[in-house]
Amino acid sequence: MKKGLLLINLGTPNAPSVRAVRARAYLREFLSDPRVIDLPGLIRFILLYAFILPFRPKQSAHAYQVIWTPEGSPLLTGSLALTNKVQARLADTHQVALGMRYGEPSLLQALKTLETADEIPIIPLFPHYASATTGSCLEWVSRYFSSKAIFPSLHIIRDFYQHPGFINAVSAQIKP
C-alpha cells in the first residue's frame, strides 16, 4: 500500500509586492472564498472590487515586507522546512507533500504529487478548526476528489490544539 501525507496551509503571496499580493493566486482568490467573507456573492464581489482590492494590497504588501526574510515568506519557508523534516522521518512509508489553499505550492500540485497513494492523511497546519482556514482547504480537497473515478482513502486531522504533544511543544517555545 502506497501512503501519502498531505500538509495543508492557507498560503502566502510569492513576493512582498503590491502586484503579488493583489494577484489572482493570493488576495483576490482568498477574499473571493465564501468561507472567508461570509456574504452573498454579489455583496462579496462589490466589497472586494470596490473597497478592498483597490486599497488593501498596498497595506498588505508593506506588512509582508516587514516580515519577509532573504529566504522568502516565513510561512512558506517554515512550512517547507516542516514538510522536509516530516518527509525525512517518514521516508520509508510515506510521500509527503505541502499544498497551499492560495498561492504556491498549490493544493493541486500537492495532490498530483500524491496521485499514486492509496491512503492520504490530511493535516492542516492550523491547530484549531475554522471554516475560513481548515474548512476552505478541506472543501477544496473534497471538490478535487469528487471528479475522480477512483480516489484514495482520506483521513482528516481536523484540529490538534488540545493534543498534549502540541501543547508541550508550544509551551517549550515560550518558556523563559
Do 89 and 168 reside in the same domain of the chain? yes
How many CA atoms lie within 13 Å of 42's alpha carbon, on the beta-carbon side? 0
Identify the CATH number of the domain in which residue 122 sits: 3.40.50.1400
Q: What letter would DSSP give residue 24?
A: I
Do 35 and 81 reside in the same domain of the chain? no
Nearest to 107 by CA among 37, 14, 7: 7
**Cα end-to-end distance, the chain, whole Å:** 45
**Model-level pTM?**
0.89
Do 91 and 147 reside in the same domain of the chain? yes
Residue 65 — very low, low, confident or very high, per pLDDT cuts 50/70/90?
very high
Do 45 and 90 reside in the same domain of the chain? no
Average pLDDT over residues 40-65: 91
Do 91 and 61 reside in the same domain of the chain? no
Nearest to 159 by CA among 126, 122, 136, 131: 126
Do 132 and 48 reside in the same domain of the chain? no
As for how many domains the chain has, the answer is: 2
Do 82 and 138 reside in the same domain of the chain? yes
Residue 106 — very low, low, confident or very high, per pLDDT cuts 50/70/90?
very high
Do 121 and 37 reside in the same domain of the chain? no
Given 29, 47, 67, the domain boundary residue is: 67
How many CA atoms lie within 13 Å of 89's alpha carbon, on the beta-carbon side? 7
Mean pLDDT of the chain: 93
Do 43 and 122 reside in the same domain of the chain? no
One DSSP character per residue, 111-167 reads HHHTTT-SEEEEEES-SS--IIIIIHHHHHHHHHHHT-SS--EEEE----TT-HHHH
Do 63 and 79 reside in the same domain of the chain? no
Do 62 and 147 reside in the same domain of the chain? no
Average pLDDT over residues 122-133: 96
Domain with 154, as residue range(s), is 3-11+72-174
